[in-house]
Structure 1
Amino acid sequence: MEELADRIYEVVKDYRNHDDIKITPKKILEWSEQFNDDSKLILTELDNFISEVYISRQKAKKYVKGHVGKYIKLFGYSNVTQFLMDTEFLDLQQSHKSQPAILQLLDEVLDENFSVSYKDYLTFPKKHYIYFDDILASGSTIGRHITEFLAQTDDNDKKFAEKILLNEITLSISVFCLHQWGFSFQDFRIIKTFGEKISKKINWYSNYQIENHAKFADQKFNVAKPVKGNNIKINSYLESLEATKYEDYAYRNKTDPAQETFFTNANSRIKFEDVITEKGIDIINKISGNIKPNLRPLGLINPTYKIFGLGTHFFTWRNIPNNCPLVYWWEVPGHDWIPLFPATNRG
């Protein structure tokens, strides 16, 4: 157990260090002990996939550098200065969100590699617009920002969507992680509002994809999603939800994925998914008063969806997405639950 905790620590040790949060092997063990007899299973599986789904600050900088290089090549620039003169990095999120933090990394990358800052070129006319974010899960925030961007007009009352069609400007979305299911929703949103031609013109770039679309073939299902069985607690919880949409997405088909690559083996996956779903239900049952309809054992979700949550397993140095299972981030006085990744700006 100590060896497992030590290995996990080496991956996640910079989590929220900037906020004076210090994860230690001891704290990892304390978190795992809350799963009682299943504590070793939880740590074994976490150790198996954590390096794949945890983005340290240094790894994020490497990703950002890769994104910049991709766009310089895509748009045919021979030097970074002209690229920066022509490019606007959209800054649309609140100051405590991930986009400003990534733009800070962008400026560090540009300074360290080219001795320039994108802020020195803000007043130049722009041809390229790039939207950075850490993760597209449900994608609602990104979808809203992108549709608002496409609907805005220039000084001649020409919509940005039209300018993209005329090849006057480009729009690119760069994320570290993208959920296939969430992306399909936002792509449909763009098509429905502006047409398929616009959708095809947008550049999407991600470093890691979560394959969780229940209707797509050969998905990895690199999330946690229980199989429907005889677990009374899990089945009863789902039936108690008043939500009505996407109930056929709630459970994972036992034959999916066809080949297990995320967990150590198929049987351990089933056990792991059941354990964290049950613990998430226990956490919700400790809430006194009204329970927010978007709160689910496997993370926050659209309140109209009759599912357990997205079961997202993706973490960054600065915060944990609220689409991740509650067992990782829940921290409420009196609930007697220790989070592995204490969340910030969660309420």
Structure 2
Amino acid sequence: MPVAAIAAESEDDIADSIADKIKDYREGEIDVPTGEHVRRWAGQFDPLVQRSILVETRHFLEKRYISKGIAENFISGLSRNSNLAGRNPATFWAGVGFLRLQERSQSQCDMLAILSDVLCNAFGVTCARQTAANGVYVYIDDAIFSGRQVLDDLRRWINGWDISDCTVHVICIGSHKSGRWYAARELGRIAGLRQIDIRWWFDAEIEDWRKEGNGEKVDVLWPTYPPGKWCLSKNKGVYQYVPSDQYVNNWWTKCPDDAKKFNPRPPFNGERNLGFESEAGRGILEQAFLQRGAYICSLSENPNKNMHPLGYHKLNGPGCGTLLTTYRNCPNNAPLVLWWGDQDASYPLNQWYPLMPRRTRTANRVDDLPEENAF
């Protein structure tokens, strides 16, 4: 949107447009988001940056929020893709084995339900079969983040059932580049020995390699140093960075390994930045999400070791920082300020009001789809 047009908008208008963008988020499970809901969430940030946060939030949701319609269109188009299904997709899909391997996450069942509807309407085929008549299996999910989910699922299946001589199509709507690379590398070590061909299909790839020279391309939150100052260390005689935000400072003190792995992003010199409305707006968003995320981390006396201000991550640092969310749930890899908290719960969850309250994982709903064959 042109800068002049954005400047002419009121904050209420921007909040209303954000609510409209995520109107199908967890539809039927929670109240439909409204402009008032968005304004209440934004009101928890410093008043001086609330407008920038609203502008940048709308921008990243427009680019990275996967609505149910987007998921359905991608899966529908892929079902007829000749590179996947060949010249006779009806015959191809009739012989495929559809893997249901996730033990706790509901995302695979949800995506299989969409795929089953698409295939049933187009070819009279469902996703009930788990064995493959044509040596082809499909593993589907909404997104790949760290790559651990798909890696653990397929490795357990391959080793547990002694799988060999087949093709596995991994289908997801969004894929983080480093996560897919990691999963592909580790699975390749197994698949190559068993003559398993693993192929990857995704609608959007998220650039998340935090490396020098890649700052303007990285599509996840990667903060520069937060506001603060450098001071001379009395112990080592070297300059150290001291953040001015008390919660960031407390987080660094409590989690020294995170502080050591905090590799700041070099600011981008251009006026615009891929994935963000502006470089200035990106900087404000990153700092605000980092600081408020550090506040959330401070509320727990014994936080999960993978919990970081910008989202859950097994690696030390500020967190995953993904801004990819879907209509069915907000991943815990996303910044805490987006999903953490529950106003109807007791302390500490009632200390933060989330924009996109997260559904926690439960046992996989195996009854969502009839089971014709087990392995």
Q: What TM-score results when the alignment is normalised by the length of structure 2? A: 0.79
Answer whether contact 1:250 1:306 (CA < 8 A) is retained. no
Aligned to 1:170: 167
Within 1, Cα distance between the matches of 2:137 and 2:118?
18
**Match of 2:28, SS?**
helix
- Per the alignment, residue 166 of structure 1 pairs with none
Deviations 1:254-289 (A, max 9, x none): 2499961211111211111001100000111122x3
* Equivalent runs, 1:266-277 vs 2, <5 Å: 266-277=279-290
Match runs of 1:244-259 below 5 Å? 247-248=260-261, 250-255=263-268
Tell me what 1:63 maps to.
Answer: 74
- Displacement of 1:103 in angstroms is 0.6
- Please report how far the alpha carbon of residue 5 of structure 1 lies from its aligned counterpart in structure 2 after TM superposition: 1.3
Normalized per residue, which structure has more helix? 1
Superposed, which structure 2 residues align to 1:28-177 within 5 Å? Answer: 28-37=38-47, 38-70=49-81, 72-80=82-90, 82-94=91-103, 96-119=105-128, 125-153=133-161, 159-161=162-164, 163=165, 169-177=166-174
User: Secondary structure in 1 aligned to 2:40?
Assistant: helix
2:319 corresponds, among 289, 294, 309, to 309
| Equivalent residue, structure 1, for 2:351 | 336
My pick for the range that moved more, 271-280 or 183-192, is 183-192
For 1:96 and 1:177, the matched residues in 2 are separated by 16
Please report the RMSD computed on the Cα atoms of aligned residues, expressed in angstroms.
Answer: 2.8
SS of residue paired to 2:97? strand
Answer yes or no: is the 8 Å Cα contact 2:262–2:318 preserved in 1. no
| Range with bigger deviation, 213-222 or 169-178 | 213-222
Name the SS of the counterpart of 1:147 in structure 2: helix
Over 3 Å counting, the alpha-carbon distance change for 1:283 and 1:211 in structure 2 is same
Partner residue of 2:181 out of 179, 184, 188: 184
Taking a change above 3 Å as real, the CA distance of residues 160 and 283 of structure 1, as seen in their structure-2 partners, is same
* Counterparts of 2:62 and 2:204, CA distance in 1: 12
CA distance in 2, matches of 1:249, 1:195: 36
CA contact (8 A) 1:238 1:308 kept: no
* Separation in structure 2 between the aligned mates of residue 325 and residue 135 of structure 1, nearest angstrom: 16
Distance 1:113 1:95, change over 3 A: farther
TM norm structure 1: 0.85
Pair 239,336 (structure 1): closer, same or farther in 2 beyond 3 Å: closer
Deviation at 1:123, TM superposition (A): 6.3
One of 288, 291, 296 as aligned partner of 2:308? 296
**Please, which moves more after superposition, 11-20 or 179-188?**
179-188
| In structure 2, C-alpha distance between the alignment counterparts of 1:306 and 1:257, rounded to whole Å | 29
Contact between 2:157 and 2:163, CA under 8 Å: does it hold in 1? yes
Q: CA deviation at 1:235?
A: 6.1
Number of aligned positions between the proteins = 328
- Cα deviation, residue 236, structure 1: 6.0
Please tell me the residue identity of whatever aligns with 2:140: F
* Offset, 1:229: 5.0
Deviation, structure 1 residue 113 = 3.2
Q: Which runs of 5+ in 1 are unaligned?
A: 154-158, 164-168
Identity within the alignment, %? 26
**2: CA distance, partners of 1:257 / 1:92:** 45
Ranges of 4+ aligned residues in structure 1 off by more than 6 Å: 196-199, 256-259
SS in 2 for 1:187: helix
Structure 2 gaps of 5+ residues are 1-10, 229-242, 363-375
Distance in 2 (alpha carbons) for counterparts of 1:139 and 1:149: 16
**What is residue 286 of structure 1 aligned with on the other side?**
299
Superposition deviation, residue 297 in structure 1: 0.6
The one-letter amino acid of 1:130's match is V
